[in-house]
Chain A
Amino acid sequence: MNAMDNIATHRKQQMRRYHQARWDEPVIFELSQPGERGVLVPEVEPEIAQATGQPLASLPATMRRQRPPALPEMSQNRVLRHYLRLSQENLGADLNVDVGQGTCTMKYNPKINDQLARQPGMAELHPRQPDSSVQGMLEVIDKVESVMREVSGMDAVSLQARGGSQAIFANMSIVRAWHESRGEAAQRDEVITTIFSHPSDAACAKLVGYKVITIYPDADGYPDLAALKAAVSQRTAALVITNPEDTGIFNSRIREFVDAVHAAGGLCVYDQANANGLLGIARAREAGFDLCHFNLHKTFATPHACGGPAVGAVCSTAALAPFLPSPLVRNKSGRYQLVSAGEQSIGKISSFTGAASIVLRAYAWIMNLGAEGLRTVSEIAVLNNNYMMHQLLKIDGMSAPYAPGKRRIEQVRYSWSGLAQATGVSSEDIGLRAADFGVHYWTSHHPYLVPEPATIEPTESYSRADLDEFIGVMRHIADEARSNPELVKTAPHNCPVHRVQGEMLDDPERWAITWRAYQRKLGERGLA
C-alpha cells in the first residue's frame, strides 16, 4: 500500500480523534517548596533604609502583619509550567469551532489588536494622567463612541461600563433617574422584560428597586404582545427587551411593543447583546428605543478572557444624555478632554473611564473592517447561522421550535426533545459528549422553556468547513445516542477531567471555596 494512503484515505472517513490535554496537575499549593523564589523584588537603597527604618512601627500591633501570607513558594519556571499546563486544559474560541456558545458571539479576536493593546502607549497609561498626556487614548474612546452612535442610531454614548450586565445596570439607573426628574419615580415601580432575556435584565431592574413583570412567548416564539399590553400601565417604568431573542427570531412587531410602552409613559431599553446579525442592517433608533447597549466583547471582537475584562457600551437618545455616567469624553476643536457630566448624571458606574484597553481593541477591529466590513460581518454571520440550521435540522430528533419555515438571524435555539424521548439521551449529555470531539455548546438560560435546548451561534469567523465539522459532530452523537447511548451518557471521555460530582457544592459542611477551606474541612478525609 502506498504509505500516503494511510493519511489521505483514512483521515477523511472518521471523526477527529481528539483528546484534550490532561495534565492531572496538582493544585498549586501542592507544588510549593519552601525557599524557592519566583521573582526577586528590588531592594531599597541603603540610604532609604537607614533614613526610614520601620515606618509602620508606630501602628498598633494589631494593624501589622504578624506572619507572612501562606502563599506557595515556587521558582519562576515552575510557576510558568504550571499555568501553561492549565492553559492547555481549556477549550477557548481560538482552539475550537466555538459556534456552540449561543448568545456569547464567540468570534475571532484578532491578535494584532492584542499586540497593539500591549504597547506602552496603552498599557502604561495611568487613568489619572492629565488629559493633555492621553490625547490618543481619549481620541480612541471618542471615535468608538461615534461608531456606536452610528451603529445604534442613538445620540450619546458611554463606554464606562465594564461588561454587558453593568451596562444594563447603567441603563436601569438612567431609567430611574429619568422618572425621578419628572417626579414619577414613586409611581413607576415596574419593569417589563421577557423570559428569553438575559437574567441580568431582570436582576438589574430589581437591583435598582423595580418589580419585574416577565412576559412569556406566544405560540410562535415571539414575545406575547397581548401579554405586554396587559402588563403595561401607569406603573411601567421601562420595557427591557432583546431583538432577536436567543431563539434568533426577529420580532417584526417590535415597534408596536415600543409604542405601547411609550403611550403609557415608560421608556424602552434595547439589550443588544444579540447585535451580530444586525450591523448596518437595522438599528435601535428606528425602532424607537430610548436606550440600548452593546457588548464589545461579543459583537466587537474583544477577547472573552475567561470572563472579562470587558466593556458594555451604553447608548441613549439626546433626552437621556444628561443622565449618562461621568466623566464624558469631549472633543473641543481637536483637543480631547474628560469633563464632568452634569448634575443629572447617574455618577460613576465603574472606576475611571472603564476598561479602556478593551475599547482600544474594539477600535482596531472596527477600523480594520469599516462600513462594508461590518455589514459583511452581519450578512455572513446570518448566512452561517441559516446554513447551520438547514443542515442540523436534517438530524432526526433535532428541531428548531417556533416560527416554522422562517429564517433566523444570528443564532438558533434548537431542541433535542425528539431524540431525548426516543433514546433517553438529554441535551446536556450530548453537550458533554461533544467535548470528546473538541467542541461544546450552551443549552439555555433557566428556566428551560424549550425542552432539551441547545443554542448555537456560528459567527462570521467560521468557515464552511468549520461549520461542517461541527454539524458532523452533532450528527455523529445523535447516531451514537441511538446505537450506543451509554457512551453518550457517560461522557466526557477525552477531557482533562470527568463529570464532577456536584452535590457537595450545596452543602455548607463540605463546600470548599479556597484551598485553606479544603484543608480545614476535608483535608484529612480527602474528597470522599
Chain B
Amino acid sequence: MKIGLVVNPWAGIGGPAGLKGSDGAASVQAALAACSLPHVPARLAAMFEACGEAAQAVSWYAADGAMGCSALEAAGLDVCAVVPVNWPSQAEDTRRATCTLAGMGIDLLLFAGGDGTARDVLQGLRDAGVADSLPVLGLPAGVKMQSAVFANHPTAAGQLLRQLQQHGLAVCSDAEVMDLDEDELRCGLIAPRLHGYLQLPLSPKLTQGGKARHVSGSGAQRMAIARSFAEAMEARSLYLVGPGSTTQALLDLLGVDGTLLGVDALLGDGTLLARDASRRELEDLAERWQVPLHLVLSPIGGQGLVLGRGNQQISPRLLRAAGRRGLHVLAPPDKLMSLHGGVLRIDSGDAELDAEFNGYLPVTTGYREQTMWPVSV
C-alpha cells in the first residue's frame, strides 16, 4: 500500500507570520519547538504508534522536511520518494506537494492540519484531477476543523491506517471540505462554507454477509432522496436549490446543469433560471415569477446548518416568502446522525424569522421516507 504524506507544520499556530517577533529563536525549528500550542509532530507520533507494525509495511511518499519526511524519520519509517518544497512553506506548497504526490500512484493521501490545509489538499487534488477518486485521511491538528475529512483523534487515525493496510481499501464516502468564512469570523460570526468534497476511506470489516460493509450516504441513497423529492415537484413553481452533494443529486436527476457549491434557481419542470445565483438575482427572480417559492436545502457541515450566514444567497426575505411549507430539507440518515448536538440549525440573520422554524422539520431521507428532525435556532 502506498500512502502520500503532507503535513502543515503551521497548523495550530497560524502561519509563519505568527512567529514574527519571537525572540531568542535561532531557527524556525527552535521557534516551533518552543511553541506552547499542541503541535503537529506530537500528533503524528501518536498516530504512527497507534498504527504499529503496519506502518512498516506501507510505502511512504512524502513532502520534504517538516512537511512530511521528518515525521516519518522520527517514527523510524523509510521514505520511498520525497517531494521538494519551499521553506518556510506556504499554502501553495501544500497544494503543489499534494498534486505531485497524487501523480505518483499513491493509494491514499494522508495529511495533517486543519480546514485550511484540507482546502489546500482539495485544490491540489483537483489540480491533479483525482479529487473525486483518490481517498484522503486527515489527521486533526488545526484550530478550525469543520470538515468531515478528519479522524476523531490521532489514535483513531493510526488504527484506521492499520486496518487499511491489513485489509485493503474498500468503499469511500463523500466528506465535506468546509472552512469558516474569514470575514464573518472577524465579525464574530461562525459561518461555515462548503468548498467541495473529498473521498474518505472506510475500513472494510471482515464480518459475514457484508452487513457492516454497507455504506450509507452513498450515491444510491442520494439518488433515492432525489427521486422522492422530484416526484413531488410542481412544474410551474420556483425552486432554489442550495449547495451540497445531496441536492446535486436532484439537479443531476432533473438534467439541470447547476452548481455543487452555489444556489441554483429552477422551475419544477427542470428549466434552469439562474446558475450559482447571487442574493440579488434570486430575490429578483422570486419577485418576477409570482409563483410558489420552494427552498431545497441540505445541512452542511457538522453543525447541521440548513441555512447559515455562510449561505449568503438565501436571504431572510426569501426564507419568509417560502415559509415553513416551502422549506425542504434533504439529507441521508447518517448525515443527520453525525450532527453535533443532534439538531438542525437555521441562522438566516433575522432571529425573529428563524424562531418561527423552531420545533421539528421533516427531512427527506430516502425514497418516500422522511424523518422529523429537531431544529434549534
Q: Do chains A and B make direct contact within the complex (CB under 8 angstroms)?
A: yes
Chain A interface (Cβ within 8 Å of chain B)? 195, 202, 206, 210-216, 224, 226-228, 230-231, 424, 428, 432, 446-447, 449, 499-503, 505-506
| Closest chain A CB from B197 CB (angstroms) | 21
Return chain A residues, CB-CB under 8 Å to B368. 206, 210-212
9-residue interface stretch from B61-69, B114-122, B208-216: B208-216
B56 CB-CB contact with A under 8 Å: no
| Closest chain A CB from B259 CB (angstroms) | 30
Chain B 333-377 near chain A by CB (<8 Å), digits 1 or 0: 110010000000000000000000001101001001111111000
| Closest chain A CB from B53 CB (angstroms) | 12
Q: CB distance A499 to B216 under 8 Å?
A: no
B204 CB-CB contact with A under 8 Å: yes
Q: CB distance B213 to A502 under 8 Å?
A: yes
- With A211-B368, A212-B370, A447-B333 known as contacts, the answer to whether A226 contacts B209 (CB < 8 A) is no
B187 CB-CB contact with A under 8 Å: no
Q: CB distance A214 to B216 under 8 Å?
A: no
Return chain B residues, CB-CB under 8 Å to A227. 360, 372-374
B205 CB-CB contact with A under 8 Å: yes
Residue of B nearest to A215 (CB): B372
Total number of B residues with any Cβ neighbor in A under 8 Å: 28
Q: CB distance B362 to A231 under 8 Å?
A: yes
Return chain A residues, CB-CB under 8 Å to B360. 226-227, 230-231
Q: Is the interface of B mostly helix, strand, loop or mixed?
A: mixed
| Closest chain A CB from B286 CB (angstroms) | 27
Q: CB distance A446 to B209 under 8 Å?
A: no
Chain B interface (Cβ within 8 Å of chain A)? 159, 170, 204-214, 216, 333-334, 337, 359-360, 362, 365, 368-374
Residue of A nearest to B162 (CB): A424
Q: CB distance A501 to B206 under 8 Å?
A: yes
Q: CB distance A447 to B369 under 8 Å?
A: no
| Closest chain B CB from A84 CB (angstroms) | 24
Q: How far is the CA of A216 from the CA of B212 in the complex (A)?
A: 21
Q: CB distance B213 to A216 under 8 Å?
A: no
Return chain B residues, CB-CB under 8 Å to A503. 170, 204, 210, 213
Return chain B residues, CB-CB under 8 Å to A500. 206-209
- With A227-B360, A449-B337 known as contacts, the answer to whether A502 contacts B371 (CB < 8 A) is no
- With A231-B362, A499-B207, A503-B204 known as contacts, the answer to whether A213 contacts B334 (CB < 8 A) is no
| Closest chain B CB from A43 CB (angstroms) | 46
Known: A226-B359, A502-B207, A503-B170. 20 other contacts (CB 8 A): A211-B369, A212-B368, A213-B362, A214-B365, A216-B371, A226-B374, A227-B373, A228-B372, A230-B360, A231-B362, A424-B159, A428-B207, A446-B211, A449-B337, A499-B206, A502-B213, A503-B210, A503-B213, A505-B209, A506-B210
Residue of B nearest to A218 (CB): B374
Residue of B nearest to A502 (CB): B210
| Closest chain A CB from B158 CB (angstroms) | 10
| Closest chain A CB from B106 CB (angstroms) | 22
Return chain B residues, CB-CB under 8 Å to A228. 372
Q: CB distance B370 to A214 under 8 Å?
A: yes
| Closest chain B CB from A297 CB (angstroms) | 22
In the assembled complex, 27 residue pairs joining A and B whose CB atoms fall closer than 8 Å, in A order, are A202-B369, A211-B370, A212-B368, A213-B362, A213-B369, A214-B371, A215-B372, A216-B371, A216-B372, A226-B374, A227-B372, A228-B372, A230-B360, A230-B362, A428-B205, A446-B211, A447-B334, A449-B337, A500-B209, A501-B206, A502-B207, A502-B208, A502-B210, A503-B170, A505-B209, A505-B210, A506-B213
Q: From A216, A231, A505, name the one whose CB has the most chain B CB atoms within 10 angstroms.
A: A216
| Closest chain A CB from B366 CB (angstroms) | 8
Return chain A residues, CB-CB under 8 Å to B334. 447
Partner pick for B212 among A213, A226, A428, A501, CB 8 A cutoff: A428
| Closest chain B CB from A382 CB (angstroms) | 30
Q: CB distance B206 to A502 under 8 Å?
A: yes
Return chain B residues, CB-CB under 8 Å to A501. 206
Q: How far is the CA of A313 from the CA of B147 in the complex (A)?
A: 50
Q: CB distance B372 to A224 under 8 Å?
A: yes
Q: How far is the CA of A9 from the CA of B207 in the complex (A)?
A: 38
Residue of A nearest to B369 (CB): A212
Residue of A nearest to B205 (CB): A428
Return chain B residues, CB-CB under 8 Å to A505. 209-210
- With A212-B370, A231-B372, A447-B337 known as contacts, the answer to whether A499 contacts B208 (CB < 8 A) is yes
Q: CB distance B208 to A213 under 8 Å?
A: no
Return chain A residues, CB-CB under 8 Å to B204. 503
| Closest chain A CB from B355 CB (angstroms) | 16
Return chain A residues, CB-CB under 8 Å to B362. 213, 230-231
Q: How far is the CA of A503 from the CA of B212 in the complex (A)?
A: 11
Return chain A residues, CB-CB under 8 Å to B359. 226, 230
Q: How far is the CA of A62 from the CA of B20 in the complex (A)?
A: 90
| Closest chain B CB from A528 CB (angstroms) | 15
| Closest chain A CB from B64 CB (angstroms) | 33
Residue of B nearest to A229 (CB): B360
Residue of B nearest to A206 (CB): B368
Q: How far is the CA of A107 from the CA of B370 in the complex (A)?
A: 36
Return chain A residues, CB-CB under 8 Å to B208. 499-500, 502
Q: How far is the CA of A503 from the CA of B205 in the complex (A)?
A: 10
Q: How far is the CA of A231 from the CA of B359 in the complex (A)?
A: 11
Q: CB distance B206 to A230 under 8 Å?
A: no
Q: How far is the CA of A62 from the CA of B242 in the complex (A)?
A: 59
Residue of B nearest to A189 (CB): B368
Q: How far is the CA of A211 from the CA of B207 in the complex (A)?
A: 32
Q: Which 6 A-B pairs have the closest CB atoms?
A: A230-B360, A227-B372, A211-B368, A214-B371, A502-B210, A213-B370
Q: How far is the CA of A499 from the CA of B167 in the complex (A)?
A: 13
Q: How far is the CA of A428 from the CA of B213 in the complex (A)?
A: 12
| Closest chain B CB from A230 CB (angstroms) | 4
Q: CB distance A213 to B207 under 8 Å?
A: no
Q: How far is the CA of A28 from the CA of B77 in the complex (A)?
A: 51
Partner pick for B214 among A211, A226, A446, A499, CB 8 A cutoff: A446
Q: How far is the CA of A231 from the CA of B372 in the complex (A)?
A: 7
- With A503-B170, A503-B213, A506-B213 known as contacts, the answer to whether A230 contacts B372 (CB < 8 A) is yes
Q: How far is the CA of A500 from the CA of B216 in the complex (A)?
A: 22
Q: How far is the CA of A213 from the CA of B170 in the complex (A)?
A: 32
| Closest chain A CB from B233 CB (angstroms) | 15
| Closest chain B CB from A524 CB (angstroms) | 24
Return chain B residues, CB-CB under 8 Å to A446. 211, 214
Return chain B residues, CB-CB under 8 Å to A211. 368-370
Residue of A nearest to B50 (CB): A424
| Closest chain B CB from A202 CB (angstroms) | 8
Return chain A residues, CB-CB under 8 Å to B159. 424
Return chain A residues, CB-CB under 8 Å to B214. 446
Return chain A residues, CB-CB under 8 Å to B209. 500, 502, 505
| Closest chain A CB from B336 CB (angstroms) | 8
Q: How far is the CA of A214 from the CA of B365 in the complex (A)?
A: 9
| Closest chain A CB from B49 CB (angstroms) | 13
Q: CB distance B337 to A213 under 8 Å?
A: no
Q: How far is the CA of A343 from the CA of B372 in the complex (A)?
A: 38
Q: How far is the CA of A224 from the CA of B372 in the complex (A)?
A: 9
